[in-house]
């Protein structure tokens, strides 16, 4: 399908210009290969240094600060402050930026722009609450030694994680609480990780990877018994496994429903310089809790 093709048309400034189809609306459901961390394109640039990455980061931060997208986004943050008061956020965690020292310059630039938004948002939220700086954390198993040195130069704590299929969000979950802000950029998320995200009680999410989990069209179905599996493990065991799968699906549907009651969602404003950078990114704001609900 055309909507799944990677964008074409790299401009002189290094940003992709993607022609929108239809009547100007973004296709929120379509996969955007350009937005995601690309493990297969993560070969390290041996010439990258903390100084060179910092220079690129500052350039991307300046681009972001001059954008109309930032103004719209900051208005949104102010509008959704709890009861009009300052955000009670003391820490922020960023997931899945990908390496900042990868040899693919287009992906590197996109990662640094996304990360610049995370840093800028953290500073802006600190100003809104009129407090000191937030404690900042970053977690991605693709970080190189140069990446980690760059992050430490910004006073960002690097959380060490491993690439394993089915992994959760450890060790970052140790920092999840109602005073946490979470950024996640098209992470390759396991079911376990999604559950940890939506039960984290975070004050604010900026994310792309669990929108499908929250999709109201997602159907809860009773799985049919796998006869080939029955032949291997026995019919009774296969029936138990199928029943457990259905229970897991039912619990996940309940978790998703609870999350949608507790959070308001807005789409991230379009970044006109490159409309793939924040494609499918949603902002989830924690709704105010009534006194009656707190007592439940």
From residue 65, alpha-carbon distances to 116, 157, 241, 271 in Å are 9, 24, 52, 11
Count of domains for the chain: 1
From residue 169, alpha-carbon distances to 143, 163, 174, 256 in Å are 16, 11, 9, 18
Give the position of tokens 């093709």.
5
Sequence-ordered list of residues with C-beta below 8 angstroms from that of 248, at least 6 positions apart, any chain: 191
Strand (E) or helix (H) holding 197: helix 191-198
d(CA 205, CA 181): 6
| Residue 118 within any structural domain of the chain | yes
DSSP string, 232-294: HH-HHHHHHHHHHHHHHHHHHHHHHHHHHHHEEEEEPPP-TT-TTTTTT-EEEEEPPPPHHHH
| Residue 170 within any structural domain of the chain | yes
Whole-model pTM: value is 0.75
Residue 16 pLDDT: 37
d(CA 193, CA 147): 24
Q: State pLDDT tens for residues 82-105.
A: 776 678 899 999 999 999 998 888
Residue 201 pLDDT: 93
CA neighbours within 13 Å on the CB side: how many for 100?
25
| Residue 43 within any structural domain of the chain | yes
| Residue 173 within any structural domain of the chain | yes
Range of the domain at 213: 28-219+263-288
| Residue 22 within any structural domain of the chain | no
Residue 135 pLDDT: 97
Residue 1 pLDDT: 39
| Residue 191 within any structural domain of the chain | yes
| Residue 84 within any structural domain of the chain | yes
| Residue 243 within any structural domain of the chain | no
Residue 210 pLDDT: 74
Residue 66 pLDDT: 96
What residues in the chain have per-residue pLDDT under 50? Answer: 1-41, 219-234, 237-246, 294-296
């Amino acid at each position: 399908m055309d909507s799944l093709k990677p964008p074409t048309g790299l401009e002189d400034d290094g940003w992709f210009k993607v022609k929108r189809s239809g009547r100007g609306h973004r296709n929120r459901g379509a996969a955007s290969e350009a937005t995601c961390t690309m493990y297969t394109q993560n070969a390290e640039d041996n010439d990258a240094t903390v100084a060179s990455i910092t220079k690129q980061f500052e350039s991307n931060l300046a681009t972001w600060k001059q954008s109309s997208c930032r103004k719209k986004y900051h208005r949104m943050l102010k509008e959704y402050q709890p009861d009009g008061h300052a955000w009670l956020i003391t820490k922020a965690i960023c997931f899945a930026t990908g390496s900042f020292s990868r040899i693919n310059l287009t992906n590197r630039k996109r990662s640094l722009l996304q990360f610049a938004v995370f840093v800028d948002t953290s500073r802006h939220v600190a100003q809104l609450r009129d407090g000191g700086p937030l404690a900042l954390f970053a977690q991605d198993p693709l970080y190189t030694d140069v990446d980690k040195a760059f992050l430490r130069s910004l006073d960002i704590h690097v959380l060490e994680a491993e690439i394993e299929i089915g992994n959760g969000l450890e060790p970052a979950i140790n920092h999840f609480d109602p005073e946490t802000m979470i950024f996640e950029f098209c992470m390759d998320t396991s079911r376990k990780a999604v559950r940890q995200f939506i039960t984290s009680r975070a004050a604010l999410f900026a994310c792309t990877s669990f929108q499908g989990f929250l999709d109201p069209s997602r159907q809860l179905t009773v799985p049919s018994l796998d006869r080939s599996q029955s032949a291997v493990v026995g019919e009774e065991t296969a029936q138990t496994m199928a029943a457990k799968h259905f229970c897991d699906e039912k619990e996940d549907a309940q978790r998703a429903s609870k999350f949608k009651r507790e959070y308001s969602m807005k789409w991230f404003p379009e970044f006109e310089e490159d409309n793939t950078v924040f494609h499918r990114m949603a902002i989830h704001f924690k709704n105010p809790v009534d006194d009656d609900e707190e007592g439940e």
